[in-house]
Amino acid sequence: MKKLIITVALFIFMSGMYLSAQAEHEFSVYAGGGLSSLRYQLSEGSGSNGGGGDFGVGYTFSLSRNRAVETGTISHEYWGIYTGLGVGVYNAKAKLNDVKTVTANLRNSYDARFNLETKLTNYNETQSVMFLTIPVMAHFQMAPFYVMGGIKAGIPLSGKYKSKDATLTNEAYFPDFDNYMKTQTFLGYGSFKGKDFDGELDLGLSMMLALETGMSWRLNGNLSLYSGLYFDYGLNNIAKSDGKKFINYVVSDAENFTTNSVLHSYVNDRQSTTFTDKVNTMALGIKVRLAFKP
């Protein structure tokens, strides 16, 4: 009997604490911006972060509860799951030290074997990446404060790199003859100043830890405004593992050689040293979200 009385008392107490509970659906559009970058370490230089943004649409399914607190007022609580579709833009910059790269075992038009030795000076590369983002996050709100946490998948939509005003000095070493060619610019040998390069980045899926917190304001019966801080951190390496030669040298168009991005390239053909160890996404900024409950 005593246990029954305690159980009934707890039930009555809980019933008084939670006056109502109902499912709610919320649709939203959002935009955010701030630090939004690719993070990596360079073996032959340094990387710096860039700015970017995040924008898209969202959906929240939540259970709302009106809870009576000790002061006699009503506290509004929401527990829910948030998801949606967005686009995240990330930018970064790499600056190389003066460095020498080696592309070995090339063949010229006479089928002679040579190594292309390249000295780089003033090589600066910018990267710009766009991801389709899909968040799955737990949402808790005790008006006016809210917090969300979970994961976010980033599917690469585009990725580009660009360098400007680089100076490259190419020399061809022929090991069979123990001889160098250094000044034949029509063969791609010599000093080339003010060279510009660009191309596509080959990136993979990014899985990110996603956090957000801030405040919300009810604009009218169905419309709310959220504003707060968000933080996304990539948990995996998005640079694909198949490394490439840094210099793209084509015998038939030797003077117009190009470079691959430092995010994908080996410093030499032994594949023992890469320019980057791994590449992660990272974003920290301010987000504004306009939400509607039908």
Tokens 């659906």 belong to which residue?
Answer: 25
Q: 22: exposed, middle or buried (C-beta count within 10 Å: 0-12, 13-18, 19+)? A: exposed
What is the per-residue pLDDT for 130?
A: 97
pLDDT tens track for 207-234: 999 999 999 988 887 899 999 999 999 9
Q: Measure the CA–CA gap between 75 and 70, rounded to whole angstroms.
A: 10
What are the residue boundaries of the structural domains of the chain, listed by start? 20-292
What's the chain's average pLDDT? 85
Assigned token pair, 5? 């009385």
Q: 254: exposed, middle or buried (C-beta count within 10 Å: 0-12, 13-18, 19+)? A: buried
Q: Is the pLDDT of residue 61 over 50?
A: yes
Mean pLDDT of 81-91: 96
CB neighbours of residue 48 within 10 Å:
12
pLDDT tens track for 135-178: 999 999 887 899 999 999 999 999 999 998 888 888 999 998 88
User: What pTM did the predictor assign?
Assistant: 0.81
Mean pLDDT of 66-84: 70
pLDDT tens track for 2-30: 443 444 343 333 444 444 568 889 999 99
Question: Strands 265-266 and 244-245, how do they pair?
Answer: parallel
Residue 67 binned pLDDT confidence (cut-offs 50, 70, 90):
low
